[in-house]
Chains A and B, each alone.
Chain A
């Protein structure tokens, strides 16, 4: 119980830091703290396997990817958010809107007792100390469920990942994708104009 409150404070603080940090690297650090705290919270919820996954996949893979991209972009000439802010007054309505929505959620949660209905049928696992084999949330328990009852979602996961790989290869493959920005369109028009002018001069 104490762990929950401490972790809540850490989670919220790190999340706020993530979205407010001026440099993206700090955001990554905040996010890392958030993910770590979340992993601990998962352990208190007996989700042993997912806590590990949280650390390996999120902190180990996704965040590294972010850091990698940040390094890639900031190594060039591109500063972050250097253009004019096209929605300078967007922050106020956005925050207000979010607060209103959050208020409604809190209101809904506290309006009455959120009763826990009886557990649905189908789960055969039993609660046990974290780290024990074949208790709820352990690798064995999770693996059995994943490869028997929930085989189809697992296959779908495979498909999603494959699509993601193909998409990434397509987007940043050997042939650089020329996304049609206004700048590029202007460049192409300029080249065309110059070509026409050259052509006219040649004919003359």
Chain B
């Protein structure tokens, strides 16, 4: 064990704003929980207000988070010191500042949106308590300056996710989805916990600064073990293969939940973890290869599955999975700023898409099947604009935000020497363009195919956040324009020192951009030909039914992941449980207890048989003893004196 350095990453000090932005959502959650029945509809405004204050505090913390004093980057607030090496504190550096801004900012908009969306729900206050609690948990995760604090936040967001997926707990499918998400996330938690054990064993401290300072001394195997175990957690939380199956099911939750937790923030925790542990990853090429490959595989698998979905939220869920695959691929191979950039833009355009789909779902009385939509462009022009902006952004059309970030990720794979991943990323970009435009065309073009007579247009609390989100959806990417001189690179100056390019790619960045654009254009073109033209929309209902019936089984069953997990783990653990419950427990545990009782009873019966109650029997035993004594004294030499 190496001596403790107590190296912190930020400038030590007292930062009331940091504490405020961290604890305000918790206060809101507690108030909503405690006084829910009294607050009624005011609970939404209360929770939104607390989150707005938290967002304001985050913005005001910007100077503290970006300060750079003598190599220490950002702000560090010590909270408590428990044992030597177990110091807890908050760290606000550019990376966590970015996440905090997104969590509180996007979270604020989604809270505002939820006031309209959840209007009239029986458990209105409970919903906002959960939402605020989630924000607190997520802030704990990203603001923690050590692995255990991160793990605590990691677990709490899983809990909040469980609460919110199962929010409508009277639906069995929601309960099942919540349980599935929770169990799969616990698998990840255990992975991180194991990694923390290894870290504590080798470093003797849990602080990020200490661990990164000690990381050059790790052996290759130890480093790979730490990274691999951390990635188990990241994969579970960020829906990477093979722990991704909970994410599509998680769409059982209310749509704002999907937007906030299962698109914008929580599912990107894995990206945060890898970006945070960049010094560890950069030192372990094996881990980089593993994580990059799994990210690419997830991106491709998500896109392929997105092509055959009809539920609008499931399309978005698979696209989320696919886009997180991009991010993981980016941070996994070492292009940390690319992966993080894609997180930022994705947070906006995916929240935009989910909230936009929420407008539609809300308007069509909870209809989610795109086959029963169509022609909504004229009925809901605002929703069309919102969705179209999001779709264009996610596809990477030049000028929109996704273009800049995805470009960084794709070129980053080349810069870090992974041409195969580059190939997968390009193909996935094309598929993404295809299925997102397919969704857009089927939903908004042609004739209306549903049976809702009156479209229930949402009020301003829902429209306003969507409208606000359009701005960053389009424009946030321009922050990343301009290479090293861009605001983005200057913001992160020094944060990802270990993520510098390792090779000079054979093809230039401009050429890769053109390749991607060509593939994307092809995807959009195919989608237009299949779903966008007037002839395509003419016989839409029948053709969509036909198409739904002819989906390849491998895609219809989502690559059989559920079946494989079911066979490998669920069945075996059920069998083990059945064995333990029906055989081992009655035989061993109950048996031991029963045998103890029986032997006590047997012993009692034995000794009881001596207690005849007959005076003469007792006297006989007494005389026998006396006779023995007499015999001794008669026989022993000298005893009779």
Most buried by B among A90, A101, A105: A101
A90 touches B620 (CB 8 A): yes
A122 within 8 A of B: no
The CB with the most chain B CB atoms within 10 A, among A94, A97, A104, A107, is that of A104
Task: Report if A178 contacts B (CB, 8 A).
Answer: no
B623 & A97 in contact (Cβ 8 Å cutoff): yes
Residue of B nearest to A102 (CB): B630
B633 to chain A: which residues have CB within 8 Å? 108
What's the nearest-Cβ distance from chain B to residue A41, in Å? 24
Task: With both chains docked as a complex, state the minimum distance between the C-beta of A119 and any C-beta of chain B, in angstroms.
Answer: 17
Does B616 have its Cβ within 8 Å of any Cβ on chain A? yes
Once the chains bind, are A105 and B623 in contact (CB under 8 Å)? no
Chain A contact residue count (CB 8 A cutoff): 14
A105 / chain B contacts, CB cutoff of 8 Å? 630, 634
Q: Are B617 and A90 within 8 A (Cβ)?
A: yes
B631 interface residue per 8 A CB criterion: yes
Please state if B630 and A94 are interface contacts (CB–CB under 8 Å).
Answer: no
Taking CB atoms and an 8 Å cut-off, the chain A residues in 101-146 that contact chain B are 101, 104-105, 107-108, 111
A57 to B631, CA, bound (A): 35
Which residues of chain A are near B620, meaning CB under 8 Å? 90, 93-94, 97
With a cutoff of 8 Å between Cβ atoms, the chain A residues found around residue B630 in the complex are: 101, 104-105, 108
Instruction: Return the contact of B627 from the options A100, A108, A111 (Cβ within 8 A).
Output: A100
What residues on B are CB-neighbors of A90 within 8 Å? 616-617, 620
Asked if A86 CB lies within 8 Å of chain B CBs, one says yes
The answer to whether the Cβ of B624 comes within 8 Å of any Cβ in the partner chain is yes
- Interface positions, chain B 598-638, Cβ under 8 Å from A, are 612, 614, 616-617, 620, 623-624, 626-627, 630-631, 633-635
On chain B, the residues within 8 Å of A108 by CB distance are: 630, 633-634, 640
In the bound complex, CA of A111 to CA of B626 (Å): 20
Query: Within the complex, what minimum Cβ distance (angstroms) separates B266 from chain A?
Result: 66
| CB atoms of A87 and B624 under 8 A apart | no
Residues A87 and B617 in contact in the complex (CB < 8 Å), given A101-B630, A108-B634, A111-B634: yes
Is the CB of A98 closer than 8 A to any CB of chain B?
Answer: yes
Known: A98-B623, A111-B640. A104 touches B631 (CB 8 A): yes
Partner of A101, one of B616, B617, B623, B640: B623
Q: Considering residues B617, B623, B624, B630, which has the most beta carbons from chain A within 10 angstroms of its beta carbon?
A: B630
Q: Which residue of chain A lies nearest to B639 when distances are taken between CB atoms in the complex?
A: A108
- Measured CB to CB, the nearest residue on chain B to A91 is B616
Query: Shortest Cβ distance from A98 into chain B, in angstroms?
Result: 7
A105 to B630: give the CA distance in the assembly, Å: 7
**Cβ of B624: which chain A residues have Cβ within 8 Å of it?**
97
CA distance A108 to B636 in the complex (A): 10
B616, B617, B634: the one contacting A104 at CB < 8 Å is: B634
What chain A residues lie within 8 Å of B634 (beta carbons)? Answer: 104-105, 107-108, 111
Q: Hey, which chain B residues are within 8 Å of A86, CB to CB?
A: 612, 614
Complex CA gap A26/B193 in Å reads 94
Question: What are the residues of chain A within 8 A of B616 when measuring CB–CB?
Answer: 87, 90, 94
Which chain B residues lie closer than 8 Å to A100 at the CB level?
627, 631
B632 nearest CB neighbor, chain A only: A104
- B633: nearest residue on chain A (CB-CB)? A108
**C-alpha spacing A111/B634, complex, angstroms:** 9
Closest CB in chain A relative to B345 CB, distance in Å = 82
Asked if residues B617 and A97 are in contact (CB atoms below 8 Å), the reply is: no
- Across-interface contacts of A98 in B (CB, < 8 A): 623
Residues of A within 8 A of B635 (CB): 104
Q: Which residues of B contact A104 (CB under 8 A)?
A: 627, 630-631, 634-635
A124 to B62, CA, bound (A): 117
| In the complex, chain B residues whose CB is within 8 Å of the CB of A87 | 614, 616-617
Instruction: Report the separation of the CA atoms of residues A100 and B627 in the bound assembly, to the nearest whole angstrom.
Output: 8
The docked-state distance in angstroms from the alpha carbon of A37 to that of B614 is 34
Q: B residues within 8 A CB of A111?
A: 634, 640
Given contacts A90-B616, A108-B633, contact A97 B627 (CB under 8 A): yes
Contacts of B631 in A (CB 8 A): 100-101, 104
B626 to chain A, nearest CB (A): 7
Please measure, in the bound complex, the distance between the C-alpha atom of A157 and the C-alpha atom of B368, giving whole angstroms. 106
Interface string of A75-97 (1 = CB under 8 A from B): 00000000000110010011001
In the complex the two chains form, is A101's CB within 8 Å of B614's CB? no
Complex Cα distance A8/B640, Å?
Answer: 25
Closest to A105 in B: B630
A139 to B627, CA, bound (A): 38
CA distance A93 to B623 in the complex (A): 11
A90–B630 alpha-carbon span in the complex (Å) = 21
Q: Which residue of A lies closest to B628 (CB)?
A: A101
Bound Cα distance A107, B632 (Å): 12
Closest to A94 in B: B620
Q: Report Cα–Cα, A90/B616, bound state, in Å.
A: 8
B620 to chain A, nearest CB (A): 6
In the assembly, what is the distance between CA of A87 and CA of B619, in Å? 12
Tell me the bound Cα distance from A108 to B627 in angstroms: 13
User: Contact flags (1/0) for B293-332 with A, using CB distance below 8 Å?
Assistant: 0000000000000000000000000000000000000000
Q: How far is the CB of A57 from chain B (nearest CB, A)?
A: 26
Instruction: Known pairs A108-B630, A111-B634; list 8 more (Cβ under 8 Å).
Output: A86-B612, A90-B617, A97-B620, A97-B624, A100-B627, A101-B626, A105-B630, A105-B634
In the assembled complex, 22 residue pairs joining A and B whose CB atoms fall closer than 8 Å, in A order, are A86-B614, A87-B616, A87-B617, A90-B616, A90-B617, A93-B620, A94-B623, A97-B623, A97-B627, A100-B627, A101-B623, A101-B627, A101-B630, A104-B630, A104-B631, A104-B634, A104-B635, A105-B634, A108-B630, A108-B633, A111-B634, A111-B640
**Ordered nearest first, which 9 A-B pairs have the shortest CB separation?**
A108-B634, A104-B634, A101-B627, A104-B630, A104-B631, A101-B630, A108-B640, A107-B634, A87-B616
